[in-house]
Amino acid sequence: MSEPLHVFVYGTLRRGEANDINRLLPAPRLLGLARIRGTLYDLGPYPGVVLGGEGWVQGEVYAISAELERQLDLIEEVAPVPSGEYMRRHLDVDLAGQSLHCLVYEIAAERVQGRPPIASGDWRQRR
């Protein structure tokens, strides 16, 4: 059996949001709340994160299967033909004080030009 994959979700894939990852199959396993360094931007119906900097972006980490990872690539339009909006990144996230290597979908920087940052770094607190 292969080692589980991990994904950090920060927007509409979070629990209770429009694309809640928990509605996908095979079911992911929530590992907990986490955070990454970056700036979260409000793009209207969904957010985008630009990685790096001093700010923190809040989200959730899930253990996922390779099959579910392929579904996420379709949702984020990085496969089969990339739209250019999001890019796959792999980085360490802070999960309750522990570092865990995760897949993160980063927005292309040019897509957030003129868009407001979400000061809290939390998509759920934008309202």
Q: Residue 87 belongs to a domain with what CATH number?
A: 3.10.490.10
Residue 125 lies in a domain: no
- Enclosing domain of residue 65: 5-120
pLDDT in tens, 28-61: 999 999 999 999 999 999 999 999 999 999 999 9
Model's pTM, two decimal places?
Answer: 0.95
**What's at 113, amino acid-wise?**
Q
Q: How many domains does the chain have?
A: 1
- Of 53, 65, 57, 61, which is closest to residue 99 (Cα–Cα)? 61
Q: Is 76 part of the annotated catalytic residue set?
A: yes
pLDDT computed for residue 4 by the predictor: 65
d(CA 13, CA 79): 17
pLDDT computed for residue 1 by the predictor: 44
Cβ 5 vs Cβ 104: under 8 Å: no
Q: Which of 3, 17, 76, 106 is catalytic?
A: 76
As beta bridge partners, residue 51 has 38
pLDDT in tens, 61-97: 999 999 999 999 999 999 888 899 999 999 999 999 9
Residue 127 lies in a domain: no
